[in-house]
Structure 1
Amino acid sequence: MTALNLPSYPFKTMTRNGKPYIFDVLRKKYVALTPEEWVRQHFTRFLLEEKGYPQGLLANEVQVNLNGTRKRCDTVLFKRDLTARMIVEYKAPSVEITQAVFDQITRYNMVLRVDYLVVSNGLRHYCCRINYSDGTYVFLPEIPRYDEL
């Protein structure tokens, strides 16, 4: 897999029917190892180990209903009251982060109304904080630590 702009971590992997799988610590199961999943697993570990995010408040593949269709947020950070606080959207390293990616995560946020939106392709990471009181947002220079949220 592609080297990413994230720390390296030891991952549990296996091969099933000739296809690679990686263990997802949040879903507690092996999942198909695609380029996007490679990014998700690195970024999740980055949030847990480098940024201090509590494992019990993070979830992968969170379903939302958007205009009558089911969509899945790649990763959601919840508050202690189990309302959503952050949505993270991943793309494979070969996928450029474009306005369309931000449009996608913004649609998910129409349902969840989080404070932070994060987009990463494993090479470039973007984080913005939303201020609902004045309808603005600001891009942050880095992904905040959990205790800074």
Structure 2
Amino acid sequence: MHPLKLPDYDYHLNGNKIFCLIRKKWIVLTAEEWVRQHFINLLISHLDYPKGLFKLEHSLSYFKNQKRSDITILNKEGGVFLLVECKAPTIKLNQKVLGQVSAYNKVLDAKYLAITNGLNHFIWAKTVKGFQQIRLFPDYK
């Protein structure tokens, strides 16, 4: 798999599958799943996000279309704290990707939005004037 600009971790592979830290089952290893699992590790092991508040490939309805958000982290009240859209390392993070996570957020109303391809990571925080890009990912606390 492609080397990423995310912390290494002790992942488990079995043929063409990777063991998911959250779903606790084997998932087909695609380039996007490689990024997702590394990003999950970053959030849990380095930023103290509780495993119990993750939703992966969370189903949502947007303009009568069924969509799935890659990583959704809830707050303790059940609202959405962070919404993350993951892409394969070969996919450029551009306005289209930002538009995708923004569209999902119209349904989910997250406090933070992020996009990553494992090489580049961008995050925005909700403010009274809309979303503003910030430099660091927030600790869950």
What is the TM-score of this pair, normalised by structure 1? Answer: 0.92
Q: CA deviation at 1:109?
A: 0.4
Amino acid at match of 2:24: K
Task: Structure 2: give runs of 5+ residues left out of the alignment.
Answer: none
Give identity over the alignment, percent.
35
1:140 aligns with 2:139: no
Q: CA deviation at 1:31?
A: 0.6
Q: Equivalent residue of 2:36, what SS?
A: helix
Q: Equivalent residue of 1:126, what SS?
A: strand
- Residue equivalent to 2:52: 56
Q: CA deviation at 1:143?
A: 1.1
Equivalent of residue 20 in structure 2, options 24, 31, 34: 24
CA deviation map 1:4-49 (0-9, x unaligned)? 001111111112xxxx000112112111100110000000000000
Alpha-carbon distance in structure 2 between the residues aligned to 1:141 and 1:80: 24
Q: CA deviation at 1:137?
A: 1.7
Alpha-carbon distance in structure 1 between the residues aligned to 2:53 and 2:41: 13
Kindly name which structure, 1 or 2, has the bigger radius of gyration based on alpha carbons: 1
Q: CA RMSD in A?
A: 0.9
Equivalent of residue 68 in structure 2, options 72, 90, 96: 72
- Residue equivalent to 1:34: 30
Alpha-carbon distance in structure 2 between the residues aligned to 1:72 and 1:143: 22
Q: Equivalent residue of 1:97, what SS?
A: coil
Alpha-carbon distance in structure 2 between the residues aligned to 1:85 and 1:144: 10
Runs (4 or more) in structure 1 with deviation over 6 Å come to: none
- Residue equivalent to 1:100: 96
Q: Equivalent residue of 2:37, what SS?
A: helix
What is the TM-score of this pair, normalised by structure 2? Answer: 0.97
Alpha-carbon distance in structure 1 between the residues aligned to 2:52 and 2:131: 27
Amino acid at match of 2:126: I
- Residue equivalent to 1:89: 85
Alpha-carbon distance in structure 2 between the residues aligned to 1:136 and 1:87: 15
